[in-house]
Copies of this chain bind each other. A is one copy, B any other.
Amino acid sequence: MSEAAGRRRGRSGGGGAARRAERSAVRIECAKVIERRIPDVEMLTAEVLGIIEHNAEIVLEEIGVAFVENPGALERWRQAGADVRGERVHIPRGLARQLCATAPGSFIQHARNPERSVEIGGRNLVLAPVYGPPFVRDLSGGRRYATIEDFRNFVKLGHMTKWLHHSGGTVCEPTDVPVNKRHLDMLLAHMTLTDKPFMGSVTEPSRAQDSVDMCDILFGGLDGRTVMTSLVNINSPLTFDATMMGALEVYAAANQACIISPFIVGGAMAPVSVVGTLTQVLAEVLAGVAYSQLIRPGAPVIFGAFVTSIDMNSGAPTFGTPEAAQITYGAGQLARRLGLPYRSAGSFNGSKLPDAQAAYESANSLNAGLMSGVNFMLHACGWLEGGLVASFEKYVMDADQLGVLHKLAAGVSGDEEAQAMDAIREVGPGGHYLGCAHTQRHFKDAFWRSDLLDYKPFETWDEEGARDTATLASARVRRLLEQYQPPEMDAGLREALDAFVARRKEEMPDAFV
């Protein structure tokens, strides 16, 4: 790290002309975070939550969890007081919860632009885009394997999106770049094409280390600051594999945040009941968070729950379902009782197209996410086809709906101006409010307004081509990408990042699996 930091600090600087050019760049509007001034929904009773917590401890002690191909982890658990048999770790009742106590209730993830830094936890909700799809889809090109060019375009869209606080991670898989080098190009894109916070690589411990090293350059030394939040999936049920745990070990040691996230398709990786699934989720998160604290007490972590259910007829995962919402609400309650930031929900749907199914299912999940107290929402926009596809149109469609969440979360003011008694007096029975003084004072900011959806009269809409939402979205994607301008970056810093990527690529032969 210190070598990388030295390179950053030792740069010669980009010169005055470059800095002036950068300063003239378009200023992008960006909401800070969602601050939820509305109550949490307590969907499950305290009694049921108590049962879940009790049963999760039984699971940890009697069934245990598997830490696969990871002798170091087994040794750490043994020293912490667990009963380790083979790769199975039996955690005595109360131990995991006790270890979790050192994890912070909220933390700041720094962005290279301090205005874009986010606090994750508490009453905040931070929104990040879709993560992981190997395919992309747009109206003109259809469905196809994602490339690094697609990846960069998604990062650019994220930078332009007012309601997105976070640039995310693998917004799509750049399948045209060797598997073992993708993370370098992806990180470089997040670091240079936006100044919002981002996620690191988790597909190998060495790639997590590359992520940390590049951040060390970007931030001029980390000095203990958390600058990445990365996604560590648990291989449900109850299995922690060496790849993900290896990444967690790197990140926790460097005080970088991880989302400890059971990856559950209910009926396949967890029981078909809500309470059974929540029991397993809680057991897995307790074990994962406890392990992060064994690596470094105080390491920032997030209670994750990626949960969907299965269609029992076809075996396909389904999204936006009532069971998923119940689990989202319940996991939020468990996270609050544990005092941890919570990650769940997103623009989830199983549709192949950005159509009504996609929107119903996404809206169900987005609304449940807000109301259940989610603190970090990955996949908040762009998800399609059960996560196989990142859709350009759906990205801007969902992103627009994220504005609804912002306004709803702001709560309802009861101050004198909001009471509007002057308006009601002025207008009186049978009048109308369009011209009254109160309306004039507030007409610009009174109501949330879509940047995308159609509000036109039928005749106008018809004359303009009778466009559906996906067609409007396609035009918006094109417009945003045309208008895109990169945020300022010191030329020397850019050179240092490029040099790091070039050197690391040279050190490895290409790998495509």
Which residues of A are interface residues toward B (Cβ below 8 A)?
Answer: 38-39, 41-45, 47-48, 51-52, 55, 58-59, 62-66, 88, 143, 235, 237-239, 266-277, 279-280, 309-316, 318, 320-323, 325-326, 330, 350-364, 367-368, 371, 385, 388, 394, 397, 401, 404-408, 411-414, 417-421, 423-425, 427-434, 436, 438-439, 442-444, 446-450, 453-458, 461-462, 466, 468-470
| B458 adjacent to A351 (CB under 8 Å) | no
- The one of B44, B280, B321 that contacts A404, using a Cβ cutoff of 8 Å: B321
Q: Which residues of B contact A417 (CB under 8 A)?
A: 273
| A273 adjacent to B446 (CB under 8 Å) | yes
**Cβ-closest chain B residue relative to A316:** B455
State the oligomeric state as a number of copies.
2
A427–B268 Cα distance when bound, in Å, is 10
A31–B18 Cα distance when bound, in Å, is 68
| B367 adjacent to A446 (CB under 8 Å) | no
| B272 adjacent to A443 (CB under 8 Å) | yes
* Given A279-B419, A446-B267, residue A235 in contact with residue B430 (CB < 8 A): yes
| A360 adjacent to B357 (CB under 8 Å) | no
A458–B352 Cα distance when bound, in Å, is 7
| A433 adjacent to B267 (CB under 8 Å) | yes
- The one of B314, B358, B388 that contacts A456, using a Cβ cutoff of 8 Å: B314
Q: How far is the CB of A321 from chain B (nearest CB, A)?
A: 6
| A316 adjacent to B276 (CB under 8 Å) | no
| B272 adjacent to A446 (CB under 8 Å) | yes
| A357 adjacent to B469 (CB under 8 Å) | yes
Q: Which residues of B contact A238 (CB under 8 A)?
A: 428-430
Q: Which residues of B contact A38 (CB under 8 A)?
A: 41, 43
* Given A271-B424, A438-B272, residue A63 in contact with residue B355 (CB < 8 A): no
Q: How far is the CB of A267 from chain B (nearest CB, A)?
A: 6
| A321 adjacent to B448 (CB under 8 Å) | yes
**Cβ-closest chain B residue relative to A469:** B356
| B447 adjacent to A309 (CB under 8 Å) | yes
A446–B312 Cα distance when bound, in Å, is 9
Q: Which residues of B contact A66 (CB under 8 A)?
A: 429-430
| A414 adjacent to B48 (CB under 8 Å) | yes
| B455 adjacent to A271 (CB under 8 Å) | no
| A418 adjacent to B363 (CB under 8 Å) | no
Q: How far is the CB of A262 from chain B (nearest CB, A)?
A: 12
- The one of B42, B325, B414, B446 that contacts A45, using a Cβ cutoff of 8 Å: B414
Q: Which residues of B contact A433 (CB under 8 A)?
A: 237, 267-272
* Given A469-B351, A469-B356, residue A65 in contact with residue B397 (CB < 8 A): no
A453–B51 Cα distance when bound, in Å, is 35
- The one of B237, B364, B408, B414 that contacts A427, using a Cβ cutoff of 8 Å: B237
A444–B343 Cα distance when bound, in Å, is 30
**Cβ-closest chain B residue relative to A442:** B272
| A276 adjacent to B309 (CB under 8 Å) | no
Which of A316, A439, A453 is most buried by chain B, counting CB atoms within 10 A of its CB? A453
* Given A238-B429, A311-B447, A363-B364, residue A275 in contact with residue B321 (CB < 8 A): no
Q: How far is the CB of A136 from chain B (nearest CB, A)?
A: 14
| A350 adjacent to B453 (CB under 8 Å) | yes
Q: How far is the CB of A172 from chain B (nearest CB, A)?
A: 16
| A407 adjacent to B439 (CB under 8 Å) | no
| A455 adjacent to B269 (CB under 8 Å) | no
Q: Which residues of B contact A271 (CB under 8 A)?
A: 420, 423-424, 433, 436, 438-439
**Cβ-closest chain B residue relative to A59:** B424
Q: How far is the CB of A219 from chain B (nearest CB, A)?
A: 36
Q: Which residues of B contact A268 (CB under 8 A)?
A: 432-434
Q: How far is the CB of A96 from chain B (nearest CB, A)?
A: 15
Nearest first, the 4 closest Cβ-Cβ pairs linking A and B are A276-B420, A363-B363, A48-B414, A359-B359
| B43 adjacent to A428 (CB under 8 Å) | no
Q: How far is the CB of A459 from chain B (nearest CB, A)?
A: 10
* Given A310-B447, A360-B359, residue A458 in contact with residue B272 (CB < 8 A): no
* Given A43-B39, A275-B418, A446-B267, residue A454 in contact with residue B237 (CB < 8 A): no
